[in-house]
Structure 1
Amino acid sequence: MSTQQEHASHRPDAVAAPSRFPLREVVLFGALLVAVLGVYAIMGIAYSTRMLVEAACYAILALGLTIQWGYAGQFNAGVMGFVALGGFCAMFFSVPVNDAFWGTELPGELGRVLLYLAAAVMLVFGATRLDRLGVPRKLRTLIAIVLAVVLYLVVISMLREVTGEIESRAGFIGGLGLPAWTGWIVGGALAGGVGYLIGHICLGLRSDYLAIATLGIAEIIKAFLKNSDWLTRGTATVSPLPWPTPGPSTLGFTLSRALYLSLTAAMIAVIFFLLHRAYHAPWGRMIRAIRDNEVAASAMGKDINRRRLEIFVLGCILMGIGGGALTSFNSLFDPQGYLPLNHTFLVLVMVILGGPGNNLGTIFGAVAVYIIWIMSEPLALALMNLAVWVGEGAFGWEAPSNLDSRALQARVFVIGLLITLVLRFAPQGLLPEKVKHHG
């Protein structure tokens, strides 16, 4: 072999695997299309379109999780909390203005308490930096703890007094009367901000600490929204929420839902395009290098914690946006409606089924799992009714009276069986991440 041929054989592009026809993708998406058409034939256009809109919102959530878990190996067990933040912002920005609150002196009193709260946070933060002035660290820590407890008791008593007045005189503070999409954007920003605080503390530790922290923060967010009647009406819920598109009262259920589906599909297309470009850019290759070999990436001078924080915040932003879109579509904000099973575990199953790190696989997994989740109840009910009919006719069995609730519980069994089969036979997902190998 000549020297020129030897040099050519060592070039990465000389040994890169040739592109193949995406047979698996075509088959899987073809089967998914058949399933969707079957649902339309069985359940009708209006119901099926609603299901697809919700599946599209879940796809945005799943894309947020797959870039955290698939791109950077970060396990986020608190997706529900970021979804709830997005839903709260969608409600707060789109609900009409409450004149019973804004037309009184209550906004000024609430603003004054919030200023006291900000000042208290700054004082406690300053106390944690007293060691820079020569104060011993143990004494600094003691001062910061005592100051935090005292200021908390003072501020919380003032806040309870004001919020009690708001609840008795105005019900709750209401919204801002802005378009719903503004709440989606702010919800993404708020979720990203909370994600930054969590990541700034936990991403330098082991991954299990991140999972515990996100799980705890999600429950804290839910508890705060549930018990803040002055802000969210708590268990009383807020409804109806405006849509960013013409609603059913204007266009009817079918057409309005189809228009909402078009909006969410356009959002997914934009997000997919940006994530695809980022994945194949130097930034994406650096993120995957950190995931695959952190020691080697650190030896090359990469800022590990900073890049991890970037990807974690980006995923949280997508979860906030998806949560806002889902809450607006349901036209109801109910803090109790955010459940770990529906808004964390289900999203996790979508990513596992589709393939962590593969954006196209994640979209497939989101739609497929949500169809299974929704359709398993009516299919289970139909099978139960068939079994009851056969049992009554052939064996004289007495039909149980709670078939509906049992069919609803069958969804959990079906999803559990699905995730077990996937982990057994396709642990990398049905559409695994495509990793290019070069010689």
Structure 2
Amino acid sequence: MDTKRADTVAAPRRFPLREVVLFAAVLTAVLGVYLVMGAAYSTRMLVEASCYAILALGLTIQWGYAGQFNAGVMGFVALGGFCAMFFSMPINEAFWGSELPGELGQVLLYAIVAILVVFGATRLDRIGVPKLLRTLIAIILGVVLYLMVVNAFRGVTDQIEARAGFIGGLGLPVGVGWIVGGALAGGVGYFIGKVCLGLRSDYLAIATLGIAEIIKAFLKNADWLTRGTATVSPLPWPVPGPAEIGFTLARALYLSVTAAMIAVIFFLLSRAYHAPWGRMIRAIRDNEISAAAMGKDINKRRLEIFVLGCVLMGLGGAALASFNSMFDPQGYLPLNHTFLVLVMVILGGPGNNLGTLFGAVAVYIIWIMSAPLALFLMDMAMSLGQGLGWETPTNMDSRALQARVFVIGLLITLVLRYAPKGLLPEKVKHHG
């Protein structure tokens, strides 16, 4: 028998017992929620879980495929939500019907010219200007032009807020905002990756966390663009809304859209994972020095995977904002839009797309149902306590909401202790 051929024969596939048991448990939990909470509430929970599944897939290819720890998921989610709002909201005639668009465009043109001037000043050494003098000229020009542009920009934005409230939207189909949201998140991720991917994993996490807070602060304070803390609502849906066909059916249609998106993303990611490109990404993750010695462009491939993950985060953020029918920059929180996604990936298994989907649905069910379950248990305890003469505490609803954090913290502790690679760990095929 040919030894070389025998080495390449794949081992017989086992029955996926663990996968079947875990997904059966999730299905049982979903059915239980439907029976207890009703169809409208449960369908809403599944739609939000599907949006989080897209976010988790974006994180699992960054962390699971390439070992890049992105702690700034929230920022890319917010960019996707902003695009969903900006492109789908109706046109604000109070803004577009005035001279304000021309003035805003003029200021933006000034900003572009200022950037080009400063960039040109940094290249003066090529025509014989000493480097020290070149740097001094660039710094002075940068400060002066920045103050001039900011002063002009503030004057225009104050006028926009006073006369029109904010710019408004572009009145385009919802899908356009979702696509642009993914593209914008990917574009921002490209520039972040060019700067930060050379850092170690812990420094990369710190850098992305800080950048996410910067994005949130900009969106929250740009009242002329996003209305800031005043929020923008209602955002249009890509399917008929609850006012037209009822809550349950409208949410079911929305769920079909997000489920179709997940199916396409899952198929493409699975193909990429098993393709030579995926094997190369994993080789870079496992042994960067060996991969570089084989002639692989490490920085280029790491940037590709980082941008791809950011695109999915922006897409999921856009779908989530549209479903909530509201854009609130202040509502983006590291706990809800970074840590929760991280828990989903850890529970399911970094690098395993199927495990990530399981983790997203399971963790979101636990996150949502922790509060009503905790409230139910507290009410039972208070009923028993009243019979014993105990004093009944107040703010039971807020106390029950705090149980979410406790339950998720306990969950992540147990997973890291007993299943550090996740409940469905990554399966890497070895070829002889």
Tell me the residue number matched to 1:209. 203
Structure 2 Cα separation of the partners of residues 212 and 400 of structure 1: 40
Q: What are the equivalent positions in structure 2 for 1:137-216 lying under 5 Å apart? A: 137-216=131-210
The residue matched to 1:209 in structure 2 has which SS? Answer: helix
Q: What are the equivalent positions in structure 2 for 1:1-400 lying under 5 Å apart? A: 4-9=1-6, 11=7, 13-14=8-9, 16-393=10-387, 395-400=388-393
Structure 1 Cα separation of the partners of residues 50 and 394 of structure 2: 35
Does residue 425 of structure 1 match 2:418? yes
Gap change, CA 1:375 and 1:5, over 3 Å in 2: same
- String of CA shifts for 1:306-336, please: whole Å, max 9, x gaps: 0000000000000000000000000000000
Structure 2 Cα separation of the partners of residues 42 and 131 of structure 1: 72
Gap change, CA 1:290 and 1:323, over 3 Å in 2: same
Structure 2 Cα separation of the partners of residues 100 and 385 of structure 1: 51
Question: Normalising to structure 1: TM-score of the pair?
Answer: 0.96
CA shift, 1:211, in A, is 1.2
* 1:60–1:318 contact (8 Å) kept in structure 2: yes
CA shift, 1:435, in A, is 0.8
Number of residue pairs aligned between Structure 1 and Structure 2? 432
Structure 1 residue ranges without an equivalent (≥5): none
Structure 2 Cα separation of the partners of residues 159 and 95 of structure 1: 24
Question: Normalising to structure 2: TM-score of the pair?
Answer: 0.98
Letter of the 1:165 partner, please give it. Q
CA shift, 1:152, in A, is 1.1
Letter of the 1:322 partner, please give it. G
Structure 1 Cα separation of the partners of residues 187 and 94 of structure 2: 31
Structure 1 Cα separation of the partners of residues 129 and 271 of structure 2: 50
- String of CA shifts for 1:351-379, please: whole Å, max 9, x gaps: 00000000010011000000000000000
CA shift, 1:150, in A, is 1.5
* 1:17–1:437 contact (8 Å) kept in structure 2: no
* 1:361–1:431 contact (8 Å) kept in structure 2: yes
- String of CA shifts for 1:160-181, please: whole Å, max 9, x gaps: 0000000111110110011111
Structure 2 Cα separation of the partners of residues 317 and 5 of structure 1: 46
CA shift, 1:204, in A, is 1.8
Tell me the residue number matched to 1:401. 394
Structure 2 Cα separation of the partners of residues 197 and 63 of structure 1: 21
CA shift, 1:151, in A, is 1.3
Letter of the 2:46 partner, please give it. L
CA shift, 1:137, in A, is 3.7
The residue matched to 1:241 in structure 2 has which SS? Answer: coil
Letter of the 1:197 partner, please give it. F
What percentage of residue pairs aligned between the two structures are identical? 81
Structure 1 Cα separation of the partners of residues 132 and 254 of structure 2: 57
- String of CA shifts for 1:10-49, please: whole Å, max 9, x gaps: x3x23x4321111110000000000000000000000000
Letter of the 2:401 partner, please give it. L
RMSD over aligned CA atoms reads: 1.1
CA shift, 1:265, in A, is 0.2
Structure 2 Cα separation of the partners of residues 141 and 297 of structure 1: 38
CA shift, 1:210, in A, is 1.6
Structure 1 Cα separation of the partners of residues 5 and 178 of structure 2: 51
Structure 1 Cα separation of the partners of residues 374 and 4 of structure 2: 63
Structure 1 Cα separation of the partners of residues 135 and 424 of structure 2: 51
Structure 1 Cα separation of the partners of residues 81 and 39 of structure 2: 26
Structure 1 Cα separation of the partners of residues 126 and 343 of structure 2: 48
The residue matched to 1:310 in structure 2 has which SS? Answer: helix
- String of CA shifts for 1:41-63, please: whole Å, max 9, x gaps: 00000000000000000000000
